[in-house]
Amino acid sequence: MAGGADRYVADLATRLVDRGHVVDVVCPKASPLLKSCELRDGVTVNRFKNFHGPFWFNWLAENLMALLILAKLNRRGEEMVVVLCHSFLWPAVWLFRKQTLFSFHGPWAEEYRSSQKAVPRSKGLQRLDQAIASFMQSIEHSALEGCREVLVVSEFSR
């Protein structure tokens, strides 16, 4: 796990295991060399295929893969609390929204807008970027409104 949010999730998961909880993480498979499922520090990491196509295809395919894993975990019959750590996967957890906590780290759409401004883009791609950013913002808003609770890591994030 490389990024700040990844380290946060790893630390949160291992601390929950230390307190006696059963913890499964559902995330994209960052490398084909990684196993689809493995136990790391007491945490079961369930990885789904990480697609590398157009945004819309990736978003739909990866949410479907994550939903299938969550549905399988839910069938275990244990009480399940879902911690959503990125708006990208909101559709996958939507069915579990009444038992979902959103650990909000930063505005997805704004981060995307900022990253796209740093790269020279044609007018057509700029319009596509705007459509994607607007879509991201609506998904994020839906997640923030739909989850049982929203957790923030700082007052700035609030």
Please tell me the distance from the alpha carbon of residue 112 to that of residue 117, in angstroms, as a whole number: 9
Please tell me the distance from the alpha carbon of residue 13 to that of residue 30, in angstroms, as a whole number: 18
* Residue 153 pLDDT: 78
In the chain, the amino acid numbered 136 is: M
Contact 62, 48 (CB under 8 A): yes
Neighbours of 139 (CB within 10 A): 19
Ramachandran angles phi, psi of 141, nearest 5°: -60, -45
3-21: pLDDT as tens digits? 677 888 889 899 999 999 9
Distance of CA 94 to the CA centre of its chain: 12
pTM reported for the whole predicted model: 0.86
109-138: pLDDT as tens digits? 999 999 988 888 899 999 999 999 999 999
Beta bridge partners of 82: 100
